[in-house]
Amino acid sequence: MSADTFYGPDFELLSKQDPDIAAVLLSELKRQQTNLQLIASENFTSRAVLATLGSTLSNKYAEGYPGKRYYGGCEEVDKAESIAIDRAKALFGAEHANVQPHSGASANVAVYQAFTKPGDTVLAMSLPHGGHLTHGSHVNFSGKWFNVESYGVRQDNELIDYDELRETAIRTKPKMICSGATAYPSLIDFEKIRAICDEVGAIMWVDAAHFIGLVAGKAIPSPVPYADVVSFTTHKVLRGPRGGMILAKAEHAAAIDKAVFPGMQGGPIMSAVAGKAVALAECATPAYQKYAKDVIVNAQTLAAALEKEGMRAVSGGTQTHLALMDIRSTGVTGKVADERCGAAGIVMNKNSIPYDPEKPGITSGIRVGTPATTTQGMGVPEMQQIASLISRAIKTDDAKAHSDIKSEVHALTARFPIYNA
């Protein structure tokens, strides 16, 4: 490509044309770079992924699927989508892949549409026990349109109660059973859930949004051999662009594709589809497999170090990319801890713990994740340091102390730049 070829992003032009938005881009980059990013659902995409998102693929409308579009001129974007589909199927060993959903929640809407109708019974993990809004919350479409029965974790060990799950499934005869969560730090026994689904004749749906990147990196077992359908986001540990994806058995391919388009959305965002293709290729490398394993080691180190600071790791620790910490021993709520850490340059979130006595907006816990810090190259020593910084930030309401901690945070992150020149 010659130096004269127009490709896409031109920050100098943006700065001249719209300095207000250009300033936001710069300030957000600074925020990401200087603060500690411990939100379990966030990560830093590669430069190659970012390049696709700002490309001229954004200009193309492509309702339909490769070779079967409703608009002409799709021969080039067809190539990008076909590459993404082939890479997804190869990476996960899937029979079918749909790469069009705009988000994980959009993918979940499509799953409901493919296999159920309003009023059907669906069994899913309770939101207070670690599930997701789209798993039946009363404020979400899933809780309003479907009869959602919930299962949760045992009170003694905070692990999924498979006996309760089976008993509920036998009693309610759900059309579909969903496994997957947003704040469950342990592994899920997909073989056991498959057996329950077969016993009651239910579709097995796995919402793998949080852990699919660990599956891609061969760091944890895959749900794909067991599930009828697997939905997920393409960011988080997977480290792709913001978006969604669905994997399914071949027998469900037509139902899934019809549910995505025209059932749930119009044209896909082709720049994002191309970004997904790039990320999937990155995930197929030995370097990514090492990254996925390092994410888990870092999460386990961070959880153990926070326990040494007097907090308690829910479920006895973590086997994934996140840790859910019960912080009642600190004497502050999750909401207060979130605010104090934010003042100290530590970005994480308050989170309910199982059987939490506090309201959802207050919480007794915090959730911390290691995908982003691991992408930056941080390891065990840094996780131990981060645990100390979190503990110190939580235990004080002194603004000067928070400012001092923020200076330490900035010194740490300066050693691990996001995007090297």
Mean pLDDT, the chain, rounded, equals 96
Q: Which of 84-88, 125-129, 180-184 has maximum average pLDDT?
A: 84-88
Q: 79-88: long-range contacts (C-beta < 8 A, 24 or more apart)?
A: 80/270, 80/273, 80/274, 80/277, 81/268, 81/270, 81/273, 83/277, 84/273, 84/274, 84/276, 84/277, 84/280, 87/277, 87/280, 87/281, 87/284, 88/245, 88/247, 88/276, 88/280
- Please enumerate, as own/partner, the contacts of 138-144 that have beta carbons within 8 Å and a separation of 24 or more: 141/109, 142/108, 142/112
Tell me what percent of the residues of the chain surpass a pLDDT of 90: 93
pTM for the model: 0.96
For residues 89-102, average pLDDT: 98
Neighbours of 147 (CB within 10 A): 16
Query: Quick one: average pLDDT of 345-362?
Result: 97
**What's the CA gap between 414 and 408, in Å, rounded?**
10
Amino acid at 191: E
Residues 200/206, Cβ–Cβ less than 8 Å:
no
pLDDT given at position 1: 55
| Cα separation, 18 vs 351, whole angstroms | 38
69: tokens are: 């579009």
Domains of the chain: 56-283 (3.40.640.10), 290-414 (3.90.1150.10)
- For residue 233, the cross-strand partners are 244
* pLDDT above 90 for 141: no
Mean pLDDT of 117-131: 93
| Residues labelled catalytic | 61, 63, 207, 233, 236, 242
Alpha carbon of 278 to those of 71, 72, 187: distances in Å? Answer: 25, 25, 28
Nearest CA-CA partner of 133 in 352, 289, 341, 365: 352
End-to-end Cα spacing for the chain: 21
> In the predicted model, is pLDDT for residue 94 greater than 80?
yes
Is residue 421 pLDDT above 60, yes or no? no
Angle between helices 75-92 and 270-283 (to 10 degrees): 30
For 286-316, letters b (16+ CB in 10 Å) and e give: eebeebbbbbbebbbbbbbbbbebebbbbbe
Asked if pLDDT for residue 317 goes beyond 90, the answer is: yes
Query: How confident is residue 345, by pLDDT bands cut at 50, 70 and 90?
Result: very high
* CA dist list (Å): 375 to 33, 295, 385: 12, 8, 17
Higher-scoring residue by pLDDT: 351, 421: 351
With beta carbons less than 8 A apart as the criterion, state whether 246 and 106 touch: no
**249-288 pLDDT, tens per residue?**
999 999 999 999 999 999 999 999 999 999 999 999 999 9
Instruction: Please tell me the predicted confidence (pLDDT) of residue 130.
Output: 87
Q: Which residues pair with 206 in a beta bridge?
A: 179, 230
Closest by alpha carbon to 32, among 44, 22, 20? 44
pLDDT digits (tens, 9 = 90+) for 355-404: 999 999 999 999 999 999 999 999 999 999 999 999 999 999 999 999 99
Helix (H) or strand (E) run with residue 407 in it: helix 399-414
Phi/psi at 369 (5° precision): -135, 160
Beta pairing partners, 147? 121
Q: How far is CA 148 from CA 3, 173, 260, 310, 376, in A?
A: 57, 11, 22, 37, 40
The pLDDT score that the predictor gives to residue 57 is 96
The answer on pLDDT for 98 being more than 60 is: yes
- What percentage of residues in the chain have a pLDDT greater than 70? 99
Question: What would the pLDDT profile of 195-206 be if each residue is shown by its tens digit?
Answer: 999 999 999 999
Residue 136 or residue 342, greater confidence: 342
**Tens digits of residue pLDDT in 208-257:** 999 999 999 999 999 999 999 999 999 999 999 999 999 999 999 999 99
Partners of 65 in the beta sheet?
Answer: 68
Question: Are the C-beta atoms of 402 and 393 separated by less than 8 Å?
Answer: yes
